[in-house]
Structure 1
């Protein structure tokens, strides 16, 4: 069963989905400088996936959604987050050793490459939130279809 959305909705979604992804990536990358970060950016990028499902329907989503890939990426995001958090464990959990004494990502405060582990943390949290929300949305959509 396809989507009941018309040509205007599908065309607008095709134009808007990449822009939502770019904006979400911007939020993730600049999370240590502005309000935002991994969770907010990951949720924004997941909004592009939700728009895809709404505009193109469940059948199209099932063709493009690989649950094993999303599950693996979600686990990788969680493990990378814990791994980065433990890198500073010699001082304290979540200690930003890279910013204090690292060879890179310790630049002038207020610049993109200035926060040590924080940009890396934002990136892996964004990955985890994005893949988790897309997986939850797909599970809800598939369960609803199964019940009908």
Structure 2
């Protein structure tokens, strides 16, 4: 565990890292990024907390069971979205023309609109959940293994 100043700064920076990661996930269909990249950014906040507080403190606040449930939820949500339009095609964009993520963008160059991605932002969110939980579990397992503590299966 590092000094109180480092822990305080790590707590404050983690909030900004998580918000930026959520931004990358939400805008993945418009700009470079998406679920995997945003999830990896958010896990970098977890790693920052790991460095500042140590693996024992982080283990108290992050449960392996919760990570497993979140990872499974991301996979199930992705599969549901993939099969939702199965009447026409796998991964069919069934939100086209609806007020939620179904807007049609104006023709020509432009930065894009967040509401024009169809099911892609929702799939990015599902992938983000899976990556956040999976990478956090890997980082936590490596940290606990390197500290000499027995990792539960």
1:85-130 alpha-carbon deviations (Å, 9 max, x no partner): 111222221121222x545321132211111101100111111101
Q: Distance in 1 between matches of 2:23 and 2:100?
A: 21
User: Which of 88-97 and 46-55 deviates more?
Assistant: 88-97
- Give the 3-state SS of the residue equivalent to 1:113 in structure 2: helix
Q: Distance in 2 between matches of 1:67 and 1:139?
A: 9
Q: Distance in 2 between matches of 1:55 and 1:23?
A: 20
Select the residue among 10, 20, 23 that pairs with 1:23. 20
Q: Give the unaligned 5+ runs of structure 2.
A: 106-111
Select the residue among 34, 43, 53 that pairs with 1:46. 43
Q: Distance in 2 between matches of 1:98 and 1:14?
A: 38
Aligned alpha-carbon RMSD (Å) = 1.6
Q: Distance in 2 between matches of 1:24 and 1:50?
A: 14
Q: Distance in 1 between matches of 2:124 and 2:73?
A: 14
More helix per residue: 1
Select the residue among 93, 103, 107 that pairs with 1:107. 103
For residues 1-148 of structure 1, the aligned pairs below 5 Å read 3=1, 5-99=2-96, 101-102=97-98, 104-109=100-105, 110-146=112-148
1:42-71 alpha-carbon deviations (Å, 9 max, x no partner): 000011001100111112101101111110
State TM-score, norm by structure 2: 0.87
State TM-score, norm by structure 1: 0.90
Instruction: Kindly state the Cα deviation for residue 147 of structure 1 after the two structures are TM-superposed.
Output: 6.5
Q: Distance in 2 between matches of 1:67 and 1:123?
A: 21
Q: Distance in 2 between matches of 1:141 and 1:103?
A: 45
